[in-house]
Structure 1
Amino acid sequence: MPRVLLLHTGGTLGMAGGRPSALRPAAFFKTLKARVPELFQLADIELQLFSNLDSSEMQPELWQRMATHLHHQLQDFDGAVVTHGTDTLAYTASALSFMLRNPPCPIVLTGSQRPLGEVRSDARLNLIDAVLSAVKGPREVTICFDSHLYRGNRTRKVKVSEYDAFESPNCPVLGTLGVDATFEPGLRARGPFKLYEKLDPRVFMLKVYPGLDPALPLQLLPHVRGLVLEAYGAGNFPIAPELGRSLMPLFVQAKERGVPVVVVSQAHRNGVDLSLYESGAASLAQGAIGGADMTPSAALVKLMQALAYHPRSPEALARFIQTPVAGELSVGRRTVEPEVPSRPRKTRRIHAG
């Protein structure tokens, strides 16, 4: 049987309690063996406890430890499943995709909207699908949820109370797990398996909204190393000086201080084009970096890594942000990342039973 590492980090999937009491971390492995015994018919599973936290407690320091742990372990397994809370699942998936380059096997993250111990839990099917994806799916970091497999750094959580909690607006699904399980080839390896564990978490994410007082982010600049700006549409934001809310002083002072600003869109589909409107063009003149169609979570984590590995070269940092590392962004008008072959691809079909 294929060997699969199941690394538990916490989240709703492994919690107990619930209405009327609050959910809390619980003994996950005992519940797993009792509730999903057929999981062990799919693979020889080794259970490891990394943490038992609500995912709101997940931090960059834990990503570094997790990536290092997986880097040491993966050569001995045919796949890995990481159980994780849903609230920060997209952040962790993005971080692992940047930190674990060219993995030797699939790394699948999953969670649930209801705890495994509950009768109507979605955890059981998510776990079964995740283990199957770890055995048969593409060799990259993915999220498996509600019978779909998504590229991890392209995924957003879009629902709180429904089982189809995640979407991948700008990247097709990598797998569909129904009566049959169908997987796409995914990214091609571009070299040996390497760990890039360094991150600089001194980054701030700013969302543009009507009424934003520019004085607030200006006060933050002395305390951050990088800034991700969630702009409107294709990269728009206010610049009219007569209204007193222009964000151009933020770009000017960020450039003076050597603080890179990555601009992404609040819109879920498509991405920014800073050359399209006056405000975007003005920000480009001040050194702003267009984040293309990256999700805000992917852009934030990628900027943390860029600051750690390119702290003294603004040009190298900008190139790194705008170059696909793990399929996290589209280049120009392309809808498929360069790592994916452009020729017609053969789809693998595996019967789910």
Structure 2
Amino acid sequence: MPRILLLHTGGTLGMAGGRPSALRPAAFFKTLKSRCPELFRLADIELELFSNLDSSEMQPELWSRLAAHLHRRLPEFDGAVVTHGTDTLAYTASALSFMLPGLPKPVVVTGSQRPLGEIRTDARLNLIDAVLSALQGPPEVSICFDSHLYRGNRTRKVKVSEYDAFESPNCPLLGTLGVDATFAPGLRQKGPFRLREKLEPRVFLLKVFPGLDPALPLALLPHLRGLVLEAYGAGNYPSDPSLGRSLLPLFQEARKRDVPVVVVSQAYRNGVDLTLYESGAAALQEGALSGGDMTPSAALVKLMQGLAYHRNRESLARFIETPIVGEMTERPPAVVETPAKKSRRAR
């Protein structure tokens, strides 16, 4: 039989309790074998307890350990499944995608909205679909949830109490697991399978909102190595100094302190274009980096890794603005219109 490594990190899927008492971590492996025995008909599954945490406790240091463990163990298996709580699942999937370049086999992250031990749980189907995706899906880090397979670094949690909890607004599905299971080819990564587990956690994610006092993020800058700014729309933010809440001084001070600022959009679909409006153009002049259509979680983790491995600003800028593992849409090459083309159009 094919071999699958199943790493349990915690989360609702492996918890016990529930209304009226609070959910709590429980003995996952015993419940798994009793509630989902058919899982072991798909593959020879080796179970490992990596951690047993609520996913709100997941931290960069654990991502590094998890990536190192997968890098060491994956060559012995045909694929891996990581069970994880849903709250930070997209962050972990994004982190693993950057930390495991050249990934030769699928690593599928999954979880559930209800514990495995409950009658109306979604955990059982999510686990079965995740194992099947680890056997047949593309060789990249993905998220399997509610019969869909998503690219891990393109996914957002969008619902709290419904089974279709995740979406991938700017990237097509990698797989659909209905009556039949169909999978896209996915990434074909170049180069050897490597481990890049270093991260710089001294970053901050700032969401622009009406009434934001610029003094607050300015006070944070001395403590930061990098900043991700969730701007409006195509990369807009308050920039009129006459209204007293311009964020342009934040970009100027960040440049002085050599703190890179990556701009992403609060909009779920499409991404930023800092050349489109005046405020975006002003941010560009102050050295802001475009996050394109990256999710905020992917941009944050990518910045953490970029700061750990790139020591000069130019190298970091190339890393942030270039697609590495499918986390952003590649920009089409600029088309320069020749005078001949213009004259034909005029005629």
Q: TM-score, normalised by structure 1?
A: 0.94
Amino acid at match of 1:257: R
**1:327 and 2:326 aligned:** yes
What is the one-letter code of the residue matched to 1:319? R
Task: Show CA shifts across 1:181-211 (max 9, x none).
Answer: 0000000120110000100000000000000
SS in 2 for 1:318: helix
Using the alignment, how far apart are the partners of 2:41 and 2:320 within structure 1? 42
Map 1:145-184 onto structure 2 (within 5 A). Answer: 145-184=145-184
Letter in 2 for 1:313: N
Tell me how far apart the structure 1 counterparts of residues 2 and 323 of structure 2 sit (CA, whole Å): 31
Aligned to 1:345: none
1:50 is matched with which residue?
50
Partner SS state of residue 101, structure 1: coil
Letter in 2 for 1:180: D
CA contact (8 A) 1:74 1:104 kept: no
Alignment of 1:103-252 (within 5 A): 103-252=103-252
Residue 287 of structure 2 corresponds to 287
Report the equivalent of 1:38.
38
Shift of 1:102: 1.5
Question: 1:341 maps to what in 2?
Answer: none
Shift of 1:27: 0.1
Identity %: 80
Instruction: Supply the distance in 2 between the matched residues of 1:263 and 1:91 (Cα, whole angstroms).
Output: 18
The residue number in structure 2 matching 1:350 is none
Distance 2:103 2:211 in 1: 45
Secondary structure at 1:120's aligned position in 2?
Answer: coil
Instruction: Name the amino acid aligned to 2:271.
Output: G
The alpha-carbon deviation at position 333 of structure 1 amounts to 4.8
Deviation of residue 268 (structure 1)?
0.4
SS at match of 1:125: helix
Q: Which amino acid aligns with 2:83?
A: T
Q: Partner amino acid for 1:203?
A: V
Q: TM-score, normalised on structure 2?
A: 0.95
Q: Which amino acid aligns with 1:324?
A: P
What is the alpha-carbon distance in structure 2 between the residues aligned to residue 162 and residue 185 of structure 1? 29
One-letter amino acid of the structure 2 residue matched with residue 329 of structure 1: M
Moved over 2 A (4+): none
* Separation in structure 2 between the aligned mates of residue 14 and residue 325 of structure 1, nearest angstrom: 33
What amino acid is the match of 1:232? Answer: Y
Question: Unpaired segments of 5 or more residues in structure 1?
Answer: 335-353
* Residue in 2 that maps onto 1:339: none
For the 8 Å contact 1:159–1:166, the answer to whether it is kept is yes
Q: Tell me which residue corresponds to 2:25.
A: 25
